[in-house]
Amino acid sequence: MVRVALLVRLQAKPGKEADVARFVESGLALANQEAATPIWLALRLGPATFGFFAAFADEAGRKAHLAGPVAAALMAKAPELLAEAPQIEQVDVLAAKISH
């Protein structure tokens, strides 16, 4: 069961929206490498606003994700693609329905 999560919001630089969309989508391959990340979603929240949602069983999984390949790729690409620093919120999961 997932208990903690990350909600990340990304604001694309003008003219970089398509690049950010491709980058966000490419994160799936990296997230698939993380055993402690059972739930990972790439999101488009608006024309130039994107995000990630990732959920974990425990704090150790969340910390591993923050030190993993998705976070590293995000920090490497942020100056080129984003209008501002990523907004990263650490949240608690109160309830979840996960079907397979």
Residue 27's pLDDT band (cuts 50, 70, 90) = very high
Mean pLDDT of the chain: 97
**Per-residue model confidence (pLDDT) at position 79:** 98
For 77, other C-beta atoms within 10 Å of its C-beta total 15
| Residue range 34-83, pLDDT digits in tens | 999 999 999 999 999 999 999 999 999 999 999 999 999 999 999 999 99
State the residue for tokens 């100056």: 79
**Per-residue model confidence (pLDDT) at position 99:** 86
| pTM recorded for the entire structure | 0.93
> In this structure, what token pair is assigned to residue 29?
């391959």
Question: Does 100 have pLDDT greater than 90?
Answer: no
Summarize the confidence of residues 23-38 as an average pLDDT: 97
What are the structural domains, with CATH classification, of the chain? 4-92 (3.30.70.100)
32: DSSP letter: T
Q: How far apart are CA 1 and CA 96, in angstroms?
A: 8
Strand partners, 12: 82
Give alpha helix (H) positions in the chain: 17-31, 59-66, 69-81
